[in-house]
Structure 1
């Protein structure tokens, strides 16, 4: 399979499939960050990770990305594709709107991963970590 065939394939994936991968990709960045910070106890890892990976945190982060004009047109397109995708799962402990926006956030990370944009992926993940740690994004239960 040629490189251009691979590009066509990922560009044809629906937003939920992109979000499925993006969720895992973003979570790895966060887990790595927490381990690097010295957080090692499982219950602490889970509790701290929620501040970065919850639907509410992700929705807040994508809102800040838009506010800061951080995303390219193509990145906005893949975010919207995820946000607008028909999902057959429902939100847990959050509104449907927040859940859909967070699905768009995850789709963006899935797109960046599948398109081989590792540098951009790392840049956005670090930006997200910085926003959470600066208190710009506040996790609420």
Structure 2
């Protein structure tokens, strides 16, 4: 079961922090390549900060964020976040990039609130976003 121990919550927090690192890296590339407008870049930087804050909060409150009765395995959750992190590295479509970033923030907030239905909904959205990005990438090739 996912998020059943504080150690599992900390592992998810670490993975979300890794996603924030990738968001920053990809955003910097987009800025240098002039792929993104200044206002959009600023919004994504703010989202990156929010994701980092949520992840840091999970570290601090790991014991309080243990979720009972979450019908999802820890491996499945980590795989979903890991896939999202990989998609963030290569995504070309800024709107999809923003959407995936927002869904990661929603996941972190749902975990922090220890709300299984919200966690599952966020994971579903992240999986959908990752699949959409993968399809988009294949079509561009």
Q: TM-score range by the shorter chain?
A: 0.3 to 0.5
TM-score, normalized by length of structure 2?
0.32
TM-score, normalized by length of structure 1?
0.32
